[in-house]
Structure 1
Amino acid sequence: MVQMMEAWFLADIEALKRFYGQGFKENAIPKNLNVEKINKTEIYSALQKATKETSKGEYGKIQHGARLLEQISVAKVRAASLYCDRLFTTLTVKIDEASDRTE
């Protein structure tokens, strides 16, 4: 199971590159296709190294987290995170069930 939202960011390196722009170090990001297997320390370290020379500065959960969540690809995250896919599938089913009861 993913332990932190930042793991999801690693599933969409293109979104990270767009968000941080010039100075973003793509090579600092782990290439593990299953982001749930990357430990917390490695995730924070990778984000710090990848972003420290950008105009937005080093990754900060408060400063950047919500805006990055808006920009990452749901499809890419679901493909890289079994638990994220399960979460979205469960939520969709529950919303559909609730919608059917109100009609």
Structure 2
Amino acid sequence: MSDFDQAIQEHIYLYKEGIQDKYYQGAKWAWQHQQAIIDNLKAQLNNIEACYIEKKKQVEDQRKRIDKALSITGNYCDEDDAALLIYVLEKALRGDSDQHLTR
């Protein structure tokens, strides 16, 4: 028995002589309409979740690259040079360019 049929059985006392079929059809239409809304919302939620998971992976990958770059700069540069290098790298990663920066 479907959820709809079970709901109808629980409300059978609402049936009146001669309108059972109209009541059933109207209730079934309303049920299907609400179910379509629920299914649409579930699909949207699944899409949002998939987008969130993908964005989270991108952020984690970027964080790993940043941590690796910071580790490398710490090993090969003094603090002032590392700050300048980080600044230049940040500009490059954002698509900016500072061609006037020289040592």
Q: TM-score, structure 1 length as denominator?
A: 0.30
| TM-score, with length taken from structure 2 | 0.30
Q: Which structure's residues are more often helix, by fraction?
A: 2
Q: RCO higher in 1 or 2 (8 Å CA, sep ≥ 6)?
A: 1
- Structure label with greater radius of gyration: 2
